[in-house]
Amino acid sequence: MTVAAVVTAAGSGTRLGLDVPKALAPVGGIPLVAWAASSLAAVCEQVVVTAPAEHLDAFRDAVAHVAADVVVVAGGETRQRSVALGLAAVRPDADEILVHDAARAFMPVAVSGRALAALEDADGVIPVLPVVDTIVTTSDGALGYLDRASLGAVQTPQAFRATELRDAHARAEADGFEGTDDGSLLVRYGYRVVTCDGDVEGRKVTYPEDLDHFEQRIATP
Ligand code: CTP
Ligand code: MG
């Protein structure tokens, strides 16, 4: 079985507000994209990183030390387009593909293992965490309470059979359908997607306080 990974790192990190793309933000002196790629290298034969087109050299430098076959390609306007461009660079003999956000750089590698293991009986696997907050809908000024027990927060890495992931992306592009993750594309086209347990360490770096959290986390293991 050949496993490859696509790391989405082509976003700018508007909410983080640094003068470099978010995936180049350092924690412990190491850029987020390098943390993410190193963790995937433990379970993959190839790691494809999507980077902002104007920063390809900086991203190649950032992942140069990662002990795996790492390829850096330009991402696109949206996360979904970045994944599609990454998929085009994945080796054609890959049977299984993990899609992971560089912004979740500290997700334990065990979650990749769980997702790949659950792929035995599915076309796609998404890591999910229970929702701890009460969630309401606020559109149109109307307040609606959702049943928390039936909700889950979706993380990455998500694992997919390569053929099905490529097909779902091609069909979504043809339809103009934009999902917020890759699992939603497979669900839309009738593929079987299951869940596995996520991990709180896979918290996404979005705001400056998220970077501070992980800086402290690695300083006090
Ligand atoms: N991403 C991407 N290509 C895009 C947009 C986002 O590859 N066109 C990636 C980001 O690099 C990130 C992941 O998708 O690893 C999740 O996106 P998000 O956390 O929203 O990151 P940014 O879009 O960079 O941040 P912001 O929304 O604050 O600008
Ligand atoms: Mg974004």
When pLDDT is averaged across residues 117-130 and rounded to a whole number, the result is 97
Domains of the chain by range and CATH? 3-219 (3.90.550.10)
Q: pLDDT tens-digit profile of 142-159? A: 999 999 999 999 999 999
Average pLDDT score over residue span 108-119 = 98
Residue 184: CB atoms within 10 A of its CB come to: 18
Residues 6 or more apart in contact with residue 66 via CB below 8 angstroms: 34, 37, 38, 41, 47
Res. 221: pLDDT tops 80: no
Percent of the chain with pLDDT over 90: 96
Q: What is the dihedral of CA 38, 76, 128, 199, to 10 degrees?
A: 30
Averaged pLDDT of the chain: 97
**Cα 84 to ligand 1 centre (Å):** 14
Q: What is the whole-number distance in angstroms between the Cα of residue 1 and the centre of ligand 2?
A: 32
Residues in the chain: 221
Prediction pTM value: 0.97
Q: Is residue 155 lining ligand 1, measured as CB closer than 6 Å?
A: no
> Per-residue pLDDT tens for 27-62?
999 999 999 999 999 999 999 999 999 999 999 999
| Cβ atoms 95, 27 nearer than 8 A | no
